Amino acid sequence: MAAAVVAVTCGLAWLVWTWTVNRPGNFNVRPDPKPGARLATGGPYRLVRHPMYFGVLLGCAGGILAWPLWWKLAAWLAAAAVLVIKACREEVGLTGQFPEYDSYRRGRRFLVPWLW
């Protein structure tokens, strides 16, 4: 149970950190950058290109650790797959909207700090 609490707490803290760095109007539910958006490169964006998705997956992993059921793991894997596909599509839009995104991308992990 302690691992579950740690995962949920760290996921929520990571999300709050991401929200404090990226201004509220910059987010978009769809994987297309908003017109007039700015490229966030500070805070958690120094470590990964998609910190919001990482925080969501980390926090939800805590729910699986607390009450491990096969269908929760299946739902988490499906959500992870959707977020990876969404992030890949988002990167195409970010590359088109921000010329500096390509060099930013080379210096950052995709989704998981220090790993991937």
Question: What pLDDT is stored for residue 55 in this prediction?
Answer: 97
Residues 15 and 59: their CA atoms lie apart, in Å, by 9
In a domain, 65, yes or no: yes
Rounded mean pLDDT of the chain? 92
Report the predicted TM-score, pTM, of the whole model to 2 decimal places: 0.91
In a domain, 116, yes or no: no
In a domain, 79, yes or no: yes
The residue with greater pLDDT, 5 or 25, is 5
Whether the pLDDT of residue 24 is over 90: the answer is no
In a domain, 28, yes or no: yes
Q: How many domains does the chain have?
A: 1
What integer is the mean pLDDT of 57-81? 96
Question: What pLDDT is stored for residue 18 in this prediction?
Answer: 94
User: Do 111 and 53 touch, CB atoms closer than 8 A?
Assistant: yes
Domain that holds residue 23: 2-106
User: Do 108 and 85 touch, CB atoms closer than 8 A?
Assistant: no
Question: What pLDDT is stored for residue 14 in this prediction?
Answer: 97
Residues 62 and 5: their CA atoms lie apart, in Å, by 6
Question: What pLDDT is stored for residue 30 in this prediction?
Answer: 75
Cβ neighbours for 107, distance < 8 A, ≥ 6 positions apart:
none
